[in-house]
Structure 1
Amino acid sequence: MSVIRPLALVSLLALAACGPGALREQLEPRPPREAYVRQLQAADLHRTAVGRDWLAAGDRALAAPAVAALPLREQGAFAAEQPGAVAWRVAPRRGQRLTVRVEAAADSGTRLFSELYAVPADTARAPRLLESADSLATSYTLEADEDGTTYVLRLQPELLRAVRWSVTFETGPSLAFPVDGRDSRAVRSVWGATRDGGARSHEGIDIFAPRGTPVLAGSDGVAWAGENRLGGTVVFLRDTRRGQSLYYAHLDRHAVATGARVRTGDTLGFVGNTGNARTTAPHLHFGVYRRGEGAIDPYPFVDTRVTAAARPGRDTTLVGRLARTTREDAALRAGPGERAARVRAVPRQTVVAVEGASAGWLRVRLPDRTTGYLAAGALEPADRPVAREQVAAAAPVRARPDPAAPDVGLVAAPVEAPVYGRFGRYVLVEVDGRRGWLERPAARAD
Structure 2
Amino acid sequence: MSGHKVLSKSMESHKALIAIPRLIFPLAFQPKWSYHEGMRRFGADRDHGNRKHAGCDLYAPAGTPIYACADGVILRYENFYHQTHALEVDHGGFIIRYGEVSPYGLPKGLKVGSRVSAGQQIAKVGHLVGLRGLKSDMIHFELYGGWGSGKLSAPQLPAFKRRADLLDPTPHLDLALMRAGQTTTPRTLLSLVGAPIPLPTALPAM
Partner of 1:270: 124
* Offset of residue 272 of structure 1: 1.4
- In structure 2, what is the equivalent of residue 389 of structure 1? none
Match of 2:73 in 1: 222
Indicate the SS of the match to 1:144: strand
Greater RCO (CA < 8 Å, at least 6 residues apart): 2
Per the TM alignment, residue 142 of structure 1 is displaced from its structure 2 partner at its CA by 3.3
Note if contact 1:186-1:209 (Cα within 8 Å) is conserved in structure 2.
Answer: no
Q: Deviations over 1:246-280 (max 9, x none)?
A: 00111124323111111111111111124xx6414
- Provide the alpha-carbon RMSD of the alignment: 2.8
Which residue identity does 1:263 align to in structure 2?
S
- Superposition pairs of residues 206-221 of structure 1, within 5 angstroms: 206-221=57-72
- Cα distance in 1 for partners of 2:73, 2:116 equals 6
Check whether the contact 2:8–2:168 (CA below 8 A) recurs between aligned residues: no
Q: Deviations over 1:48-81 (max 9, x none)?
A: xxxxxxxxxxxxxxxxxxxxxxxxxxxxxxxxxx
User: Could you tell me which amino acid in structure 2 is paired with residue 248 of structure 1?
Assistant: Y
Indicate yes or no: 2:25 matched with 1:177.
yes
CA contact (8 A) 2:98 2:139 kept: yes
Contact between 1:226 and 1:235, CA under 8 Å: does it hold in 2?
yes
How has the CA–CA distance of structure 1 residues 281 and 146 changed in structure 2, closer, same or farther, with 3 Å as cutoff? closer
Distance 1:296 1:278, change over 3 A: farther
Question: C-alpha distance in 1, partners of 2:185/2:167?
Answer: 20
Amino acid at match of 2:94: Q
Aligned residue pairs total 143
Flag the 1:184–1:239 CA change in 2: closer, same or farther, 3 A.
Answer: farther
Local SS of the residue matching 1:210: coil
2:90 corresponds in structure 1 to 238
**Deviation of the 1:285 alpha carbon:** 0.2
**Which of residues 142, 155, 159 is equivalent to 2:4?**
142
Distance, in Å, in 1 between the alignment partners of 2:130 and 2:166 is 23
% identical equivalent positions: 29
d(CA) in 2 for partners of 1:302, 1:214: 17
Indicate the structure with greater strand content.
1
Quote the Cα distance in structure 1 between the aligned partners of 2:125 and 2:130: 12
Aligned equivalent of 2:172, options 301, 305, 319: 301
Q: CA deviation at 1:306?
A: 2.5
Verify the 8 A CA contact 1:208 1:283 in the aligned structure 2.
Answer: yes
| Unmatched segments (≥5 aa) in structure 1 | 1-98, 100-140, 151-172, 309-446
Q: What is the letter of the counterpart of residue 247 of structure 1?
A: R
Higher helix share: 1
1:381-392 to 2 correspondences below 5 Å: none
CA distance in 1, matches of 2:166, 2:68: 18
Classify the secondary structure of the residue corresponding to 1:215.
Answer: strand
Residue of structure 1 in register with 2:144 after alignment: 289
What runs of 5+ residues in structure 2 fail to find an aligned partner? 149-163, 175-183, 189-206
Contact 1:251 1:269 in 2 (8 A): yes
| Bigger radius of gyration among the two | 1
**Match of 1:192, SS?**
coil
User: What's the CA shift for 1:283?
Assistant: 0.7
